[in-house]
């Protein structure tokens, strides 16, 4: 398929692919635990792959290539979430801890809870001497 409309579809779909794949990569590096990372990678990368295959289909036009990309798209839409579920389930069965926020946040930063970071939360002294 040639023409300005097909070119525009290819460019927009390729830009969507790059955007969502980049968001998935950022989520993979920035999120705190395996569960959040699996979620980000699955959602964003699956959508990015979908946009890439739409760009391929628009570039080659109708024909056997469109059928192959549709089959590949179906395969990706089934296997990516299944793989992320398997990873999360394996992490859960290995008792990988879930990230929890360690201190409450205010819009200006951490909230002062009244405890010093040098004191343990139970109030006992920290030192090598015993009474």
Q: pLDDT-based confidence at 52, cuts 50/70/90?
A: very high
57-115 pLDDT tens trace: 888 888 898 899 999 999 998 998 888 888 888 888 877 676 777 655 556 655 555 55
Work out the mean pLDDT of the chain and round it to a whole number. Answer: 78
Taking the CA atoms of 15, 18, 23 and 24 in sequence, report the sign of the dihedral they define: positive
Asked if pLDDT for residue 131 goes beyond 50, the answer is no
Q: What is the pLDDT of residue 71?
A: 93
Q: What is the pLDDT of residue 38?
A: 82
What predicted TM-score, i.e. pTM, was given to this entire model?
0.65
Q: What is the pLDDT of residue 106?
A: 58
Q: Name the nearest CA neighbour of 52 among 26, 84, 20, 75.
A: 20
Among 8-17, 99-108, 121-130, top mean pLDDT goes to 8-17
Q: pLDDT-based confidence at 6, cuts 50/70/90?
A: confident
CA distances from 4 to 1, 8, 58, 75, 121 (A): 10, 6, 11, 30, 66
More confident residue, 50 or 39: 50
Q: What is the pLDDT of residue 12?
A: 92
> How many Cβ atoms sit within 10 Å of the Cβ of residue 71?
11
């Amino acid at each position: 398929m040639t023409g300005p409309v097909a070119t525009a579809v290819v460019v927009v779909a390729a830009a969507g692919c790059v955007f969502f794949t980049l968001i998935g990569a950022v989520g993979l590096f920035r999120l705190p635990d395996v569960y959040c990372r699996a979620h980000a990678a699955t959602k964003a990368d699956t959508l990015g792959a979908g946009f890439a295959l739409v760009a391929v289909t628009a570039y080659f036009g109708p024909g056997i290539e469109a059928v192959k990309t549709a089959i590949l798209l179906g395969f990706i839409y089934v296997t990516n979430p299944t793989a992320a579920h398997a990873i999360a389930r394996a992490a859960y069965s290995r008792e990988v801890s879930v990230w929890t926020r360690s201190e409450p946040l205010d819009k200006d930063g951490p909230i002062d809870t009244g405890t010093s970071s040098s004191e343990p939360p139970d109030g006992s002294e920290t030192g090598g001497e015993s009474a």
